[in-house]
Amino acid sequence: MRSFNYAIAENKQGLAAALEKGYKIKAGGIDLLDMMKERIDKSDRIVSIAQLKDLRGIRERDGGVAIGALTTLRELTENEMLRRKFPALADSIDNAATPQVREVATIGGNILQRPRCWYFRRAEYDCLRKGGQTCFAVNGDNTYHSIYPMGSCHITHPSNIAPAFVAVGAQFVASDGRTSKTYEARDFFVRPSEDVMREHKLPQNEFVTEIFLPKLPDKSAYVEVKEKQSFDWPLAACVATYADTKWNVVLAHVAPIPVRAVAAESLLGDRADIDEALAQQASEAAVADAQPMTQNGFRVHIAKAVVRRALLKACGKDFTA
């Protein structure tokens, strides 16, 4: 590992000052340290935010729920209120990584993590996202890459939890140490066509303090399909939520950002109860504009399956029949 300067922020102002000097935040450190060990991230200034205790915890507020950015995934899965009222979120967290990782990984770090693309993660591939000229996935092995084209880079967004936030219209609250700023989850993630080197809109001088869920859904479900049941990323995953007589359907691991299946949402209309036939139709609508690459066509089929399943599961129905 390269040597680096390590600072510990004692409060938000201290953190903001460190960010101004180009420090990079270490929360759980799960993704950052991996990136540094692989010498993909060459940061020489790291600031720990572990001491910022007020960024930690889950509180009910203004009819919604505020989750501190430093809350660990384990703490979230142990929250009975969230499990009861927003099972899709709890299920998606249960399925993230491993028990050891969930013990340390934070929810803020999860939504801000870098992509898992195996070309991006290898120093010898000077890919677009690292400032190079080529997306190696196009002619390479793209089995696990995007099936929705959104520009010249074909990553899939690595968080299987972010889609739940997108589905319920969560807000990511950020701070620069003086004022706070709110980003809509639905407008937070960046397509490669907008900026190929970023996955989100948070600027260097800001940090996420909390994730605010204004309202928990009446119904929700999360379904993912993965090759291996222990520690694997999904081939496709879907969150379906029903609130205010509207469905929200968000797909994960199929595109460079968590992607809303708008066609499916409008097809479902305001129907609270969904039967097999309607779920099937919605799932077909959800993948109608998918454009797989050379090796990942099968994942269109799997994306369709997770949409159908998430809708039926949200309505308490058996999707394996």
Partner 1 sequence: MSETSANNPMEKTLPRPDVRQKVTGMARYTADQYPAKVLHARAIRFPFGKGLLAEADVQKARSIPGVISVEVQKGKEASYAGAVVGRIVAESKDALEDAMEALNATYAMMPPRTNPMKLYAGVPQAEAADEAKLKEIFEGEGVKVVEATYTTQVQTHSCLEPHGTVADVRQDSAEAWVSTQAVMAQEDAVSNTTGLPASKVTVHSEFVGGGFGSKFSLGSEGTMACRVSKEKGRPVRAILNRREEHSDGGNRPGSIQYMKIAVKDDGGIVGGRVHLVNTVDADGGGGGIRNPNYYKFGNIVRTEDDLSLNGGKPQAFRAPGFPQGSFALESMMDELAAAVKMDPVAFRKLNETSERRKSQFDQGAELIGWKDRKPDGTTPGRIKVGYGCGAASWGNGKGKCSADCEIHRTGEVEVRVGIQDIGTGASAVVTDTAAWHLGLPRTMVTGKVGNSDFPPGPGSGGSVTTRMTVPAVRDSAENALTELKKELATVWKTEPEKIAYKEGVFTNPATNQSVPWKDACAMMSSASVVGHGRFNEEYWGGGSSDTVQFVKVEVDSETGVVKVKKVVAIQAAGQICNKLTAENQICGGVIQGISFALFEQRILDPVTGGQVNADFINYKIAGPVDIPEIVPVLDIRDTDTGARSIGEPTTIPTAGAIANAVANALGVRVRHLPITPKRVLEAMQEQKGKTA
Q: Segment near partner 1 (CB under 8 A), from 68-76, 112-120, 205-213, 263-271? A: 112-120
Indicate the residue among 145 and 191 with the shorter CB distance to partner 1: 145
**Hey, what are 192's tokens?**
């490669």
Q: How far apart are CA 17 and CA 98, in angstroms?
A: 34
Longest Cα separation, the chain: 58
Indicate the residue among 141 and 284 with the shorter CB distance to partner 1: 141
Q: How far apart are CA 265 and CA 101, in angstroms?
A: 33
Q: Any residues with CB less than 8 A from the CB of 54 and at least 6 apart, and which? A: 68
Indicate the residue among 277 and 321 with the shorter CB distance to partner 1: 321
CA distances, 6 to each of 12, 102, 150, 171, 233 (Å): 17, 24, 37, 30, 31
> At closest approach, how far in Å is the CB of 22 from partner 1?
20
The reply on whether position 301 binds partner 1 by CB under 8 A is yes
> At closest approach, how far in Å is the CB of 38 from partner 1?
9
Q: How far apart are CA 240 and CA 242, in angstroms?
A: 7
> At closest approach, how far in Å is the CB of 299 from partner 1?
8
The reply on whether position 188 binds partner 1 by CB under 8 A is no
Instruction: Classify burial at 245, counting beta carbons within 10 Å of its beta carbon; exposed 0-12, middle 13-18, buried 19 or more.
Output: exposed
Q: Phi/psi at 115 (nearest 5 deg)?
A: -65, 160
Interface pick for partner 1 out of 125, 189, 207, 247 (rule CB under 8 A): 125
Question: Which of positions 216-275 make contact with partner 1 (CB under 8 A)?
Answer: 225-232, 235
Interface pick for partner 1 out of 122, 130, 201, 317 (rule CB under 8 A): 122
Q: How far apart are CA 30 and CA 282, in angstroms?
A: 36
Indicate the residue among 62 and 124 with the shorter CB distance to partner 1: 124
Interface pick for partner 1 out of 141, 176, 195, 276 (rule CB under 8 A): 141
Interface pick for partner 1 out of 48, 143, 205, 281 (rule CB under 8 A): 143
Give how many residues touch partner 1 by CB under 8 A: 32
DSSP letter string, 126-156: -BGGGT-SB-TTTTS--TTS-SS--SS----
> At closest approach, how far in Å is the CB of 98 from partner 1?
8
Site map (CB under 8 A) of partner 1, residues 3-32, x = contact: x-----------------------------
> At closest approach, how far in Å is the CB of 139 from partner 1?
5
Q: Any residues with CB less than 8 A from the CB of 279 and at least 6 apart, and which? A: 307, 308, 311, 312, 319
Short-list 185, 311, 161, 165, CA closest to 234: 161
Q: Segment near partner 1 (CB under 8 A), from 118-126, 158-166, 175-183, 204-212? A: 118-126
Binding residues for partner 1, rule: CB under 8 A, are: 1-3, 39, 116, 118-119, 122-125, 136, 139-141, 143, 225-232, 235, 298, 301-302, 305, 319-321
